Amino acid sequence: MDKALERWVNCGLLKAIMNISRRELIALLGAGALGSSRSWAAQPEGKTYGVALVGLGSYATGQLGPALLETKRARLTGIVTGSPEKIPSWREKYGVAEGNVYSYENFDEIADNKDIDVIYIVLPPGMHAEYSIRAAEAGKHVICEKPMAATVEECDAMIAAAKKNKVGLHIGYRLHWDPYHQRLMEVARTEEMGKLKDFSAALAYQDRNPKAWKLSKKLGVAGELYNLGTYPVQAALYTVRENPIRVTATSHNARPELFTETPEGYDWVFEFPGGVKASGFASSAKSGNFLKADAEKGGFGLDQQAFAYGGIGGYVGEKRMNFPEVNQQALQIDGMCASLDKGEKGLAPGEMGRRDVALLQAIMKSAETGKPVEIGDLGYPAV
């Protein structure tokens, strides 16, 4: 059985289809889950891209590698790792040729490998700029995990390198292909529930791992703000549909013995030109995984695992959303490959990543100074 079909059968596809409304069905089609230009089930004819993953940590192992077994427009053809003990299992599972295995020391030799078209950077944020730029200089298209880089200046350098070498640069914003988030974008765009009045979102969980890269300022930059905060920040923009003009933020650190270089978490409030305020937080000290929007005719949002890989649940007014599970990463990678075919920036280009890093830095600055920070032109629209 086709893996995509098997996934749908396992999640009760028939039952889900029978229980969704016409509007939800339209939104689902738009998200690609039932076959559109974004769908791994029905991608248009085009090139199949060879992808190399740089960094074989938990996200590459648990999500991206398996997703590349489901993609129609891409396949895993290379790996880059500093852990030789991981190589045999990756080669066996994904059929990676011996000559397509690289270390960080010989990474630049990847330029001569015709099996590899796209390099996916799955490293801590503090390393994103260096390897994205080197990948572009090798003449390979780049997908970089979020957040794009440590600073706006690094983002600019990445964008310049991609432009100079005429390669694509995309950021791993998987939720732009998720049907629940697509539905929220539609509700916000059409003002189905009327004008937006208030917004809040958060992603946080209690973590006690003393070896996590987010604890390092050099690798993680700002702890959970960079690890998790990008999601609620992005959600505020594509729900409010404006770029913010001001942010007020604080940081907290209940475990200074563990978080010695970065805060344990951040709280913030964005102010938008139309008068809406959007609050959010990202933290290792508390829990939260939600997105809530209040509008003139009622509320809409995601109250179950809002930013998770699956198990998402949400509502529009009194009605619950009901979409089949999808592989967000497979949709994302195939969608990005389709954009490369057309020479388009796609749903999550480098310029979007730069915008979000500018907002993360504004949150950091406000928390550090204890004062609101004015936000200027971000160079990329909210949606």
Cite the active site residues.
146, 231
Given a contact cutoff of 8 angstroms between Cβ atoms, the answer to whether 158 and 129 are in contact is: yes
What whole-number distance in Å separates Cα of residue 100 and Cα of residue 282?
38
Phi and psi at residue 210, in whole multiples of 5°? -75, -5
Given a contact cutoff of 8 angstroms between Cβ atoms, the answer to whether 49 and 337 are in contact is: yes
Spatial CA neighbour of 121 closest among 101, 102, 145: 145
Q: Say which residues have a Cβ less than 8 Å from residue 187's Cβ, sequence separation at least 6.
A: 193, 293, 300, 316
Query: Residue 149: how many CB atoms within 10 A of its CB?
Result: 27
CA dihedral 11→14→19→21, nearest 10 degrees, is 110
* β-strand pairing of 288-295 with 277-283: unpaired
Spatial CA neighbour of 38 closest among 71, 77, 6, 3: 71
Given a contact cutoff of 8 angstroms between Cβ atoms, the answer to whether 181 and 231 are in contact is: no
User: What DSSP character marks residue 372?
Assistant: -
**Amino acid in the structure at residue 227:** N
HSE-CB at 69 with a 13 A cutoff on CA atoms is: 15
At 226 the three-state DSSP class reads helix
Strand order in the sheet with 141-144: 101-102, 74-80, 49-54, 118-121, 141-144, 169-171
Spatial CA neighbour of 357 closest among 219, 229, 179: 229
